[in-house]
Amino acid sequence: MIKQLVPSDVCLKCQGCCRFKDADSVWSPCLLDEEILDLIDKEGIPAAALSINRRLQLVPNSKGEDFLCPFLNIEENKCKIYSTRPLECQLYPFLITLRDKKVLLTVDLNCPYVKEKLNTPEFKAYLGYLTDYFNSPTQLELLKDNPQIIQAYDDVLDVVELQSPDAPK
């Protein structure tokens, strides 16, 4: 489990995460291979709830305005699988982004908490933590085995270049 920057009480008030404009949004969580097996085995979700590109299939909001993560309890604004949520969900508002053949740690400034904390010592310390975490041999191997979670996100702030999972160690 990745240490969190955004306090959960702040996160629960926001209502920005887990909601998407399009059914096939690039922002929909992309899953690691082992997360797919866990969701099918432990959470009992049907394989049809996952797209061919290893993303969660979003569901239409009952209001018909947008799409939701299938694990979002909209009434309580809580994740039904919070303690076992996918790596990309744990990482958000940070993202692993591929740009110009470089693997970058980026941040989505649509998160109001991060936008407010951007130039603080707390943010810089957390960025150091994430950089060390994803540059560790274990995480580099995980990224190498799961290249699908390295996406080409737009409209994010590039914060640090990570080691390439394919680089010699």
pLDDT tens by residue, 40-87: 887 777 777 788 888 888 989 887 779 999 889 988 888 888 888 899
pLDDT at 132: 97
pTM of structure: 0.90
Place of tokens 């809580």: 78
Once rounded to an integer, what is the mean pLDDT over residues 120-144?
A: 96
